[in-house]
Structure 1
Amino acid sequence: MPETRFKSYYSVEAHDNVHLVEFCPYDWSSQLIAVATATRISIASCRFQVEDPDVDGVGWEPLRDFHHGSRISAMAWSPETNLTSMPRVLRLCFAENDKKVRLISSDMKDDDQVQVLGEHRDYINCVSFQPDQGALVASASDDLTCQVWGLDGQQAACFTLTAPGMAVCWHPQEPGKIMVAEKKGIIRFYHVQTQQPIMSLDCSHIPLLSADWCLGNSLRVAAVAGTDWFIFDTSRSSRPLENEQAHDTGCRAVKWCQSQDYLLATTGGRPPQLKVFNIKANQLTLNTELEASGGLSWHFRLPIVAIGGDCKVHLWHVEIA
């Protein structure tokens, strides 16, 4: 694959090493970003020059810090988050190393609340909000379960897995389904209400450490297992349609671009690498090394990818074919 240039690179200083970073994946709150370090989750508003000519590169406005007790392993935004209308609502779920799923709710003034939604018996690898109403939170764990929690802390569903759950995804076009990826290379779709499996996909590689359901095309699923990325079309086959080596010492995470469904980002390797593949043009658009990496997230409306690092948030504006 020939390598092409990205448009711009930005970095923003953080008070500590960044373990996770998450853009808010909803149009009405797409300017928000959450940054998790060892002691806090920091919420910021960010704008880019491509959106506003008055911005010099990236405009970064810190909004709120929420302190926590142990390292965060996963976090996800609620679709109820909206800071542009009254009353303002910020809602975010996260999992800590104590194996509990927590919910932050804030009016961005005086009322900040943190509640425990549920608990696993082992490490939690991924959390995800139901995207239409935000009434449910799913969590996938090393304890061989994917659990679904109501915002009142009541368990709404529990899916028994055959290997550690590494990823869980909802899709706004498929509100009754949930996707769960297992470490042994299997990705299953379930009907949430009946808790029955619908279909499965098979990477035939291990360990699968990450998977993502494409926002722009609900038939498309990506995963990373071993050294390769895999792309599935769920309407055509349970086997991957494409796969390619991404990181020769192993992949860590994969994410579809929210705004361009042919861009796929992966992390992995030693030293840590970030790569962005243009599937449509068969090009490696971005290939860069970092001293440290944590988290992987795309902006909702722009082809801008973020990753945490050594006391910084790194951001790249990716070239579009």
Structure 2
Amino acid sequence: MPKALVTGAAGFIGYHLCQRLLADGFDVIGFDAMTDYYDVRLKQRRQANLLQSQRFRAVNDRLENDGVLHDLIAQEKPDIIVHLAAQAGVRYSIDAPRSYVESNLIGTFNLLEAVRATPCTHLLMASTSSVYGANTDMPYGETDKADSQMSFYAATKKANEAMGHSYAHLYDIPITMFRFFTVYGPWGRPDMALFKFTRAMLSGDPIDVYNHGDMSRDFTYVSDLVEGIRLLIDAAPERPKDTPAKGDSLSPVAPYRIVNIGNGEPTQLIAFIQAIEKSTGRKAICNMVDMQPGDVPATWANGDLLRELTGYAPQTSLQDGVDAFVAWYREYYDV
């Protein structure tokens, strides 16, 4: 059986990816710190579900702890590694920036050093659409300018991309970075808009609508995202012999590539709220507020490279995805 190591396995995306890999016959080692950034019980439930498979093993520790990843990877020798663990959240990075240094910078450095010592066939690492920052030329393509990050969270993710490229070049490690665009769906994070809006609407509480609703996001359903990751696992980059094709983010000097994974269709925040209203049967009480520091008014992914590499494009409509989340939320919280 192929063996995969997934960091952040008890997180939202990690949980869904582990389920997919197990279904595809992988043995999976799930690494997670089980931090209290949000309700740990939700992470524990995800992990408990994964542990129902005999081919899943959980390791609860922190990326930034010296030697932990080095020893684990040396012992397990996974074929592929998907690095999803990170301190997430644009707004929280304003309040607690040190946690982003520890998890996103030191933790990712520890992982890269561990893979340098015990190479795998393909290392895939999560970045974010937030790295495009102040760039307003949309849809965002992987080769577009991404040098003006608006939050410290985004800055640490851009640093991860640069770190990954240097290790790919120096040590011939095949690395794919993927830039996620506003992922949503069942088992989602409580700090994300869909979770907060659904909870408030079902409770009859108001919701804060930032920038007075003048925002759009490229909402990407989690199963579509996981399908993209799964297909990219089998598309490891190689050090190029010729100049990469136009639009391909393959490095000219390393087995390294950046790939957007997004729905490819921006949705206005008001339309997103209306989809939740339809699913919940409740009218939102909107509290219009200014844009929060570090946020951006819009995101929109160009998905051409993902289609070129895998033949795949996300397929889930916003309403279907929101319906699935609301159904899960009602069942999970019995409301």
Provide TM-score, normalisation by structure 2: 0.30
Greater fraction of residues in helix? 2
* More strand by percentage: 1
Give the TM-score normalised by the residue count of structure 1: 0.31
